[in-house]
Structure 1
Amino acid sequence: MLAALYFMFLSETLDRSMVSKNYRYNLTLFKEITRFWDMRHTYGWNVTIVNLVGNVICFMPFGFLIPTISKKKICKNVISVTLLAMLFSLGIETAQLLLKVGAFDVDDIFLNTIGGFLGYVTMKFTRVRKHI
């Protein structure tokens, strides 16, 4: 999780400055995803992959660990875990906005939520494979 927070707040290599005087945000879904994909030859594949796949991978442990370590039944189903991942990501993005570090980006929330979902699916798949 520390890696996810580090990535979220220290992403200056992704065409974002560290601290801004202004609030920076993107409220248009797929705007930044499209920009990174369209600019992949300019930014380089490394930056594109880190931004698009990195946001997903950083939240996979969240989706895997929450149902594994929680004793609460609500944290054991895919919808709850996915919503918790989305809320956690929303919290991080809101902190970035309020602190003027990086930018609030709905695309990041979308990608992080997918990561939480895939982490949950991975956890379920590994549990099913153990019982076979």
Structure 2
Amino acid sequence: MLKKIYKIIIVPYTLFLLYLMFLGMGRFQYDENVVRLKPVLSTIEFIQGTIRWEDIIRIVLGNIVMFVPFGFLGWIFPKLKELKSLLFSFMSTIIIVEALQYFTRMGIFETDDIILNTFGVYLGFLICRFLENKFSRFV
């Protein structure tokens, strides 16, 4: 039952997420292309430079939580049931999306986004396995 619901929801969810990544949340086109390649340090700098905890939670946790559903992609694509295949495929895709943000200047190419998004997929993968093992008759 959950697999059927997931198959219906994941495409619109993906489109909504792409909208947020390129146009939503007050996005604007930068005057120049921006790259942040310092893993973890740019997130720490962001946290130190942000006054409101709501912004920190929205950005940092959002970059993780919003990608948890992609940990369930093995329900649609059997090859992605293996963690290595899932993470390789996802990281390849998210690097392309980050590059598109860079080239269109509708975002910033950030290694921390790649790390946080991939961590979200990993958490989703763990949740998926847990659900399959614990509640197999409902999945």
**Given the two structures, how large is their TM-score scaled by the length of structure 1?**
0.84
Identity %: 28
Aligned counterpart in structure 2 of residue 121 of structure 1, from 107, 118, 126: 126
Equivalent-residue separation in structure 2 for 1:50 and 1:125 (angstroms): 26
Equivalent-residue separation in structure 1 for 2:89 and 2:62 (angstroms): 19
Structure 1 spans left out of the alignment, 5+ residues: none
**Aligned CA distance change for structure 1 residues 131 and 19 (closer, same or farther; 3 Å):** closer
Aligned 1:1-132 pairs, distance under 5 A: 1-10=14-23, 18-40=28-50, 42=51, 44-64=52-72, 66-71=73-78, 74-131=79-136
1:87-111 Cα deviation digits (max 9, x unpaired): 2211110000011111110000000
Equivalenced residues, count: 124
Shift of 1:27: 0.9
1:15-58 Cα deviation digits (max 9, x unpaired): xx611221111011112210222134x1x111111111101111
Equivalent-residue separation in structure 1 for 2:97 and 2:55 (angstroms): 21
Does the 8 A contact of 1:85 with 1:112 survive in 2? no
**Given the two structures, how large is their TM-score scaled by the length of structure 2?**
0.80
The runs of at least 4 consecutive aligned structure 1 residues that moved more than 6 Å come to none
